[in-house]
Amino acid sequence: MTVPLIQPTAQGLYCAAGDFYIDPWRAVSRAVITHAHADHARSGSHHYWAAQPGIGLLRHRLGKRARISALAYGEPQAFGPVTVSLHPAGHVLGSAQIRVEHQGEIWVASGDYKRDTDLTCAPFEPVRCDTFITEATFALPVYRWPPVATVARAINQWWQTNAEAGRTTVLFCYALGKAQRLMAALGKDRPGPIYLHGAVAPLTQLYRDAGIHLPPAQRVSEAPSNEDFSRSLIIAPPSAAGSTWMRRFRKPATGFASGWMQIRGNRRRRGHDRGFVVSDHVDWPGLLQSIHDSGASQVLTTHGRADELVRYLNEQGLSARPLATLYGDGDDHSEDG
């Protein structure tokens, strides 16, 4: 048997023919990065390659001294006999699928991706390949995302109701990607000003620096001392829930935005007033569509509901198997949903 073009090793997904890793979880010499989330972009490697729009975020994650080379989407980069190019994954700003071509064989490692509308990053671009490596975070048929515009309307309505009742609206969501995507989706009908938690603000600034148009927002800590926040929307990471930081808001109404909120049990268990279904991961129909669009005859799955997806695809006549990775938290309840 020939060696697969990309295979899992102790360091991460490895392409032996080109001697580079994709999203390695240990320090390596050459790392191609799909996007800047912590479980995909880890520090310590000698040289990184990533898509141009996400370079700011990546530098923020990896530090000033990291050696990072930017690639435009579609721009070919040779690694010995292997040609690599990056293509939009629609997950967060600068997220990329990694196309790897060697002697006519094409693999695509899609990283995390989604097919739904996102005003803050380039939309997912189907790439034809022989082998498609896909995430399976939400790979069950109950996960179908409502249009994000509908969810944004519901958030604005909830915010309006809270404002009328003199309650501060606090929306918890992932600080990188989800927060900015939601800010952009809220549109012009916002009932009041937006404030950001200290973990969200710098990432939001990096989005602005990259030319992404977002509504104005201030840091909570920079608000005037007499601000009572009762008409405001506060965007904060899930870890801020229940912390002392929350005490500054009067009678806060809290919401959580995540794909996991699709399930009623999760909504209730989180103990927030509202759960909003918004995910930066692909849903079940999007997943099947993407596999179809790739034209791949072999599908390898990473983090999430890999078992079910693999069996389903095999029954559909594709060759599918799970790939051992350390992406995600290995459980159903990571905050990144």
Binding residues vs another protein (CB under 8 A)? 140-144, 262-269, 271, 273-274, 305, 307-308, 311-312, 315, 329-333
**Helix ranges, 210-277 (H):** 264-270
Nearest distance from residue 284's CB to another protein, in Å?
Answer: 9
Identity of the residue, 317 or 331, whose beta carbon is nearer to another protein in the bound complex? 331
Identity of the residue, 15 or 155, whose beta carbon is nearer to another protein in the bound complex? 155
Identity of the residue, 71 or 320, whose beta carbon is nearer to another protein in the bound complex? 320
Strand, coil or helix: 52: helix
Identity of the residue, 161 or 221, whose beta carbon is nearer to another protein in the bound complex? 161
Contact 335, 174 (CB under 8 A): yes
Nearest distance from residue 263's CB to another protein, in Å?
Answer: 6
- In the DSSP assignment, the letter for residue 146 is P
Nearest distance from residue 309's CB to another protein, in Å?
Answer: 9
Rg from Cα positions in the chain: 20
Nearest distance from residue 321's CB to another protein, in Å?
Answer: 17
- In the DSSP assignment, the letter for residue 116 is S
Please state the three-class secondary structure of 273-293 as a single string: CEEECCCCCCCHHHHHHHHHH
Nearest distance from residue 157's CB to another protein, in Å?
Answer: 11
For tokens 């048929």, what's the residue? 141
Identity of the residue, 79 or 312, whose beta carbon is nearer to another protein in the bound complex? 312
**Surface-to-core class of residue 219, CB atoms within 10 Å of its CB (0-12 exposed, 13-18 middle, 19+ buried):** middle
For tokens 């710098």, what's the residue? 202
